[in-house]
Amino acid sequence: MSLKSYVLGSSIFQTLFSYSIWFILLGIPTIIIVSLFFYTAKGTGNVAGFIVDKTAKRVRSYQQQQRKRDKVEPAIGSQQQQQQQQQYRASVYV
pLDDT tens for each residue of 45-58? 656 556 666 777 88
What is the pLDDT at residue 31? 92
> Given phi > 0 = left and psi -120 to 50 = alpha, else beta, which region is 2?
beta
Give the pLDDT of residue 1: 47
- CA dihedral sign, ordered 67, 72, 76, 78: positive
Low-confidence ranges of the chain (pLDDT < 50): 1
Which pLDDT value is given to residue 2?
53
- Contact between 46 and 52 under an 8 Å Cβ cutoff? The reply is yes
- CA neighbours within 13 Å on the CB side: how many for 47? 0
C-alpha torsion sign, points 30, 34, 39, 43: positive
Other C-beta atoms closer than 10 Å to the C-beta of 85 total 14
For residue 39, count other CB atoms closer than 10 A to its CB: 10
